[in-house]
Structures are given as structure tokens and as C-alpha cells.
Amino acid sequence: MTARRLLSFLPVGFVAVFLVLPFLNTVDTFFSVSNTRDVLSDPSMLRILWFSLWQAVLSVLATMIFAIPATWALSRFQFPGARLCRGLLTTPFVLPSIVVAAGVLAISQRTGVVSILWAHVVFNVAVVLRIVSPRWALLNPRYEQSAATLGASPWQTFTHIVWPNIRSAVNSAAALVFAYCFTSFGVISIVGGFSRRTIETEIFTQSVRLGNTDVAITLAVLQMIVVLLVFQISRPSLLQTTSTHVSSAPIPLHTKPRGRWIVLVSVVVPVIIVALPLVATLIRSVSYRGHISFHAWTTVFGGTLPQLTVSTWRVIVTSLLFSLATAILAVSLALIAAQQMGRQWFHYAEQHRILRFVTSLPLVVSAATLGLGIVITYNTDPFAWRSHTWLIPVIHALIALPVAIRILEPAVQAIPPSLRAGAALLGSSPWHTWLRIDIALLRPALLRSVGISAAISLGEFGVTSFLTRSNSTTVTMTISQLLGRPGALTQQSGYVLASLLIVLTVGVTSRA
């Protein structure tokens, strides 16, 4: 029991060291009550707060409209191309926001709220799919079949059988999507147009462009309070339905189950919406003012990147190493946390609350603030970590941790305790039980959380750009460097790297 308790400190300690401490230090240095009063009585700041809120709420709704049917179809049915669709829907999550945003902009041709919502849907369908799908896949379809046999309408079946079982996963996905959209930076600043400001873009403006770090920190604290409130509201209740779930094979579509057209539409529509900006990226990698040319592809595959001194391979290897380290670190910590939270013993309720709260924090602290916090906190020996390369995957793991936990936790909860008890009764050691029952049943969820943690690392841009780096340029950073320079070949090479990222991710995620 003590070993387990010590273990539970690992995720909390990790977040404390790399997030809580730097954030508190920043707040302590810059926060003041009078400043908060000024900010809260400034009408333009209140407008920013209001806009951040409603665009995030609309983004969550829009994401759910496309994501829930797709999740249902992909976790319940089996058909040719299902894996590819899953991969496509997950891919945007790893892409730098500049690529997705430029894709959306190239098609919509206009900045504004519609483009913001579209880009947020493109990014976040993956979040819902990855969190809700493992839970949905564990729900035994026999319950639904029985309900249908007993005369329940599809709607009744959904509200009485399916919804209670997926509710907590949907809630946690929705809260996560809200957090991402509420604190979104790249999407808003590119497709929102200059009149659309959110708290996160304003934090950046105030701290970086205007040098008003105090105003920025006040905004960061406000932002944190809002997201924490949302997490509080969406917190799963301790009394969950824990009916026994047995993983069951998805229904093959070629057996022509009822309503197979609905299944197809549920997948195809979100895939089109998500894939269009990706296709725009591929097109731009081979076209220049009407000419089709593969020179950028041959240049990039030849190993050189126009105007940059670093080689293609080096950039790719760096990114892969970072994402591997991120996945190992994030998923190990997430597994510990999820197993702690998954055991519903009431005398641990308080500890679970703390664990849940602390591990949610990476979602609520703004990237700019965290970046600045680390720079000003870990600046003296023996803790002069701020310019160290290992900090990059560590920070990526920090950002991936809450997502990985949200993928693993419902799956951990869905493991029937009777299986463990049975194993113990038959003489299995705790370690054996854990390996043979927990890990075996968690395999799909573990793979998904590895995939998404690696993806987060590949695509992370916000905090990384605040860290001081040496010879550790990632693919994402390189793409933005290439797109940030004139010259057709340079631009196209940026899109080639982005396309490469797309192809790689579709490949990886359609397997996991």
C-alpha cells in the first residue's frame, strides 16, 4: 500500500515541479490585486473574455456534432477504410496550427468565426474520438440488442443504455476540447482575423509585444479560473455505472446491419471536413502559381531544406526522439494516475480529487505563461534547466499527460473488479494480475494514449517556442520557419514537410 501511495506522488510531483512551481513563481513576481481590478474594469478586456468564452462553447458544440457520430460508427462497426478514416481524423491534432489554419483559410478564403469553428473542429475531433472510442468499444452491444428486442426505440436505447455508459468519457472529452479552444492561440491568431482576440492571444500580446507582463499574468490567472470551473462542472461523479463490460468485436458492415447508410454518413462527413485542409496542404506542396512541380519533394528528400542549414533527416530524427521520450514519460505517469483514480474506494476520494486536479493543470495554464515561468524559475544552478534539451520532451509530456489520463481512466474503470478478484482467488500474484488483466484489457487504450502523446509532442509549438534551444529544431518548428520566408521552393518545402507529417501520422494512428 505504501509503494502504491508513493507511486501516486510521481504524476503529482512531476506536474508540481514543471508547472505549479514556475507558474506560482511567475504569479508571485508579477501578479497584483490593483492590476486585476484594472483589467476587470477595462471594457476591451471584458470583450476579450466574453469572446473567448462563446467561441469556445460553440467550438465544443460544433466538434461534438461531428465527432460523436464518427466515434459511434468507428467504435461499433467494421468496414474497409475504417482504420484510414480513424487515422485521418486524428492527424490534424499533430499538425502545427499554421498548417491547418492556412489550409482552412485557403478553402474558406475568409477570416472570422466560421473559420475559427472549422479549424477547431478539425483539431479536436481527434480528442473526442480518442477519449470516447475506447469506452464505447467496451460497451457490450448485447445490451443494445436486448433493448431493441424488448421494443426500445433507437433513441431510448441510446439514452438509457449507451449514454449512461459513455457519459463520463464524453464529459471529459468536452471539457478537454473546451480547454483547448478557450486557450487556443495559433488558430485564433491566423484564421480569426485581427479583430478577434482571446485571452490567450492577449496574454501573448501583452507579455511579448507590449512588455506588460503583469497584465499578461492577470489574464493568465483569469483564464485558469475559468477552465478550472469548467473542469469542476464536468467532473465525473464517483457513483458511476460499473456494469460489466466485455470487449466485443465491431459489427462488420458488409453483413448489412440496419441503418448502415447512417454509419457511412457519420464517418464520411467528418472525414471530409477534417481532410479538406489536409488536402490543401498536399496540393500546395506540389503546385506553384498553376505549375505542378515535384522539386520541393526531391529537395526535401535529398536531405536539404532551402534557406535552412539543418538537414531534413536531422529534423525528423529529433522530432521522433522527442515524441518517443514524450510518449514513454506521459503514458507511464498517466497509467499510474489512471489506476489510482480508477479504484473507487471512498476513503481515497480526497486523494483522487487532488490527483485529478493537479494532473488537469497542464490544460489550464497558458503556454506563454508556462514558457516564461520556466525561464525565470529554473535559472540558477543546480536547477538551471531552462536551456536544456531534455526540457522539451518533459514539457511535451506535461502537456500530453491530461489527455493520456483521460484516455486511460475510463478504460481502467471499465475493468470489472471481479476479474481481478477472480485472478487473486486462483492464486495469481498482484503483479501477474496487473499484467495479465489490467494491461491486457488496457492495451487498446494504452496504444491510443501512446499515439496521442507522441502526436502532441510532434505538433507542440506554444511552449516549445518559448524555450531556448540548441540543435533541437523539430519538424513543426521547421515548417513554420520555411513558411516564414519568401521563395517558391522554400514555401513548397514547408508544405512538403507538413505533408510528410500528415502521411506519417495517418500511417501511425490508423494502426494504434
310-369 residues near other proteins, rule: CB under 8 A: 325, 328-329, 332, 336
3-state SS assignment for residue 378: coil
Distance of closest approach, residue 90 Cβ to other proteins, in angstroms: 25
Distance of closest approach, residue 463 Cβ to other proteins, in angstroms: 11
> Is residue 147 within 8 Å of residue 157, measured between CB atoms?
yes
**How many angstroms separate the CA atoms of 199 and 197, rounded?**
7
Distance of closest approach, residue 500 Cβ to other proteins, in angstroms: 18
> Is residue 121 within 8 Å of residue 64, measured between CB atoms?
no
**How many angstroms separate the CA atoms of 69 and 264, rounded?**
10
Q: Does 468 bind other proteins (CB under 8 A)?
A: yes
In 3D, which of 405, 396, 386, 400 has the Cα closest to residue 335?
A: 405
**How many angstroms separate the CA atoms of 149 and 351, rounded?**
43
Q: Which of 75, 171, 491, 499 binds other proteins (CB under 8 A)?
A: 491
The cell for 84 is: 484510414
Site for other proteins in 162-201 (CB under 8 A): 189-190, 192-195, 201
**How many angstroms separate the CA atoms of 78 and 454, rounded?**
26
3-state SS assignment for residue 291: strand
Nearer to other proteins, 164 or 430 (CB): 430
Site for other proteins in 386-445 (CB under 8 A): 386-390, 393-394, 430-431, 434
3-state SS assignment for residue 253: helix
Site for other proteins in 1-60 (CB under 8 A): 3-4, 6-7, 10
Give burial (CB, 10 Å; 0-12/13-18/19+) of 141: middle
Distance of closest approach, residue 7 Cβ to other proteins, in angstroms: 6
Q: Specify the pairing of strand 291-292 against strand 77-78.
A: unpaired
Q: Which of 489, 498, 501, 508 binds other proteins (CB under 8 A)?
A: 489
Distance of closest approach, residue 188 Cβ to other proteins, in angstroms: 9
> Is residue 159 within 8 Å of residue 106, measured between CB atoms?
no
Cite the beta strand spans of 265-375 per DSSP E. Answer: 287-288, 291-292
Helix/strand/coil (H/E/C) assignment for every residue in 169-185:
HHHHHHHHHHHHHHCCC
Nearer to other proteins, 231 or 322 (CB): 322
DSSP-derived letter for residue 255 is: G
**Interaction pattern, residues 377-396, with other proteins; x per rule: CB under 8 A:** --xx-----xxxxx--xx--
**How many angstroms separate the CA atoms of 181 and 81, rounded?**
30
Q: Which of 141, 236, 250, 306 binds other proteins (CB under 8 A)?
A: 306
Nearer to other proteins, 162 or 446 (CB): 446
Q: Does 481 bind other proteins (CB under 8 A)?
A: yes
Distance of closest approach, residue 471 Cβ to other proteins, in angstroms: 8
Site for other proteins in 76-115 (CB under 8 A): 98, 102, 105-106
Q: Does 470 bind other proteins (CB under 8 A)?
A: yes
Distance of closest approach, residue 432 Cβ to other proteins, in angstroms: 11
**Interaction pattern, residues 267-286, with other proteins; x per rule: CB under 8 A:** -----------------x--
Distance of closest approach, residue 209 Cβ to other proteins, in angstroms: 6
